[in-house]
Amino acid sequence: MIRKLKSGQYRLYSRKKDDKTGKRRNLGTFDTREAAQKHEREVQYFKRH
């Protein structure tokens, strides 16, 4: 899940909410949406291999 920040950057959050905090985990902040999407694909690949 990618959200745009007020600073103009994009932050990648986990898809599921953390049971303890009830929030999504921050998986990194990127300057472009493309970079965030690329990293999200890498994360999903890593989870399955």
The string of pLDDT tens digits covering residues 18-39 is 999 999 999 999 999 999 999 9
Residue with tokens 């399955």: 48
Where in the sequence is the domain holding 25, given as residue range(s)?
2-48
Q: How big, in percent rounded to 5, are the helix, strand and coil portions of the chain?
A: 35, 35, 30
6 phi, psi to nearest 5 deg: -60, -30
What percent of the chain has pLDDT above 90?
Answer: 98
* Number of domains present in the structure of the chain: 1
Name the H helices within the chain: 33-48
pTM of the model: 0.85
pLDDT for residue 18: 92
Nearest to 39 by CA among 19, 13, 7, 21: 13
